[in-house]
Structure 1
């Protein structure tokens, strides 16, 4: 019983924006009936709201002067504050509107170094020109690390090498590319580059912590060959420099060497063909803001073509 009475007391002593709106309308329109008509309420309901407001402040806020309702001294003070509150809310609404429209905000993206260097720049550059108020923050790492950060909500979305799965995550495949045999420009192979062809060369491969390296190792294993790299590096650019210097061959995504072919590096498809797929991952319970939807749309358009 005391609990119910406590709720009733709290409800009677709660100040809402509607209370302030009713007070403004009663004073500006001069009658309870006119305020009730504007608010589409009954006149008793308007009277009750004014009474609740007076109980909240502990003072009379309005009084009748003939047929008109006018504010008391306390009522004028409350009205001044009510107008300031409305002005502040309008300012906040104006500030929030770009975020609601997706033209402002901050989106945290996680991905691997290769995608960050070779795939994201034109997509995010175009997005930045179209929506300059939308900030995209990119964090790089191996797919398992990026996935963990996504699960912890330290990232808003991730672009990772597939397969990748998590109970709390939803994955959408976006992009597939060939993994290519990379070699110094002066060492063009005479025939198809197979696992045995590569195994006979010094190999400069990715570090073994990422999904792409797992795909490469499985490709060798499926051919009955074990890859024994002489170098394992975490940077695609470092791998390319080592290969261009004649220190070995490598296997890299086609996107990472598209501009280098014909220079210090050569690239040909592997036999049998080896590909990797990238997928977009978000938490299943993630609330997609307008800004986040803009980024997802840009990635889908840019990577799916």
Structure 2
């Protein structure tokens, strides 16, 4: 055990998680020869071959699998030890770079971030907004630590945890005449505002309309849910929005909110790299976001 170098162990773990030495080198911000040397030194210290190549993919040997089964526990123990020391010195909780959509940032994150700041006053939090594809790419590139985005998301390096369903609704000026059921056919005859193209929210709305046999050209496409709501309040048309954007208690009296028929939902998920090292702040942020599943 005294010969087990933690940096070498981490390099081995990342090689297996990423499937190659070159990909591991990029994630670890090392050269490929440096990563290869660290793995060889680890193999030498343990007197075992830990990695074998199957085609182009690096896979663990039986000995490597045995070591890998303990690596997460070792990593967690080390992280816990570092956290304990930090609490006794400067109380630091680290930095969290969070990515999400603009709607979730406005209507979902504030109480979560307030609770995190209360629990961890020294935690540095930065929030980046964008569409799912942009945020997922940033997580993959390790420029964002954790994301709360709309599914679908794909990536072999991701741990994806669905946490809540958000029902889409129609908002309209109270003076607009609407039938009992809001179907795609109904909206074909109305002036409609939608999110700008490119994100999962717009794609979801377009697919719902298409399933109803409607190819709708929106009156306007905007990138801000608040701008869409103001346009609707001004009487320019109606809009399809995520339900979280129009909470019942905060809906203006001059707007009406109606369910769609058939109902339409989007699913939000927490996305993080499988090989991401969780310090105290990131671990508590991950737990807070996953706790959304118990509230919705």
Q: TM-score interval w.r.t. the shorter chain?
A: 0.5 to 0.7
> How many residue pairs were aligned?
213
Alignment TM-score, normalising by the size of structure 2: 0.68
Q: Distance in 1 between matches of 2:134 and 2:221?
A: 19
Correspondence list, 1:152-167, <5 A = 152-167=141-156
Contact 1:99/1:291 (8 A) holds in 2: no
- Structure 1 residues 142 and 102, CA, compared in 2 at 3 Å: closer, same or farther? farther
Instruction: Give 1:82's aligned residue.
Output: none
Instruction: Determine if the alignment matches structure 1 residue 150 to structure 2 residue 139.
Output: yes
How much has 1:267 moved relative to structure 2? Answer: 0.8
How much has 1:188 moved relative to structure 2? Answer: 5.2
Alignment TM-score, normalising by the size of structure 1: 0.66
Correspondence list, 1:151-300, <5 A = 151-187=140-176, 189-258=178-247, 259-300=249-290
Superposed CA deviations along residues 63-96 of structure 1, whole A, max 9, x for unmatched, are: xxxxxxxxxxxxxxxxxxxxxxxxxxxxxx8995
Superposed CA deviations along residues 82-125 of structure 1, whole A, max 9, x for unmatched, are: xxxxxxxxxxx899513999961110000000000000001111
Q: Distance in 1 between matches of 2:137 and 2:234?
A: 36
Q: Secondary structure at the match of 2:253?
A: coil
Q: Secondary structure at the match of 1:173?
A: strand
* RMSD between aligned residues: 2.2
Superposed CA deviations along residues 182-204 of structure 1, whole A, max 9, x for unmatched, are: 11122252311000111211111
Gaps of 5+ in 2: 1-81
Q: Distance in 2 between matches of 1:121 and 1:231?
A: 29
Q: Distance in 2 between matches of 1:121 and 1:218?
A: 30
Q: Distance in 1 between matches of 2:126 and 2:88?
A: 16
Instruction: Give 2:98's aligned residue.
Output: 109
The list of structure 1 runs, each at least 4 consecutive aligned residues, that deviate by more than 6 angstroms after superposition, is 99-102
Contact 1:182/1:243 (8 A) holds in 2: yes
Q: Distance in 2 between matches of 1:212 and 1:248?
A: 19
Q: Distance in 2 between matches of 1:234 and 1:143?
A: 14
Q: Distance in 2 between matches of 1:260 and 1:187?
A: 20
Larger Cα Rg: Structure 1 or Structure 2?
1
Instruction: Give 2:76's aligned residue.
Output: none
Q: Secondary structure at the match of 1:98?
A: helix
Q: Distance in 1 between matches of 2:85 and 2:187?
A: 56
Q: Distance in 2 between matches of 1:197 and 1:255?
A: 23
- Structure 1 residues 253 and 261, CA, compared in 2 at 3 Å: closer, same or farther? same
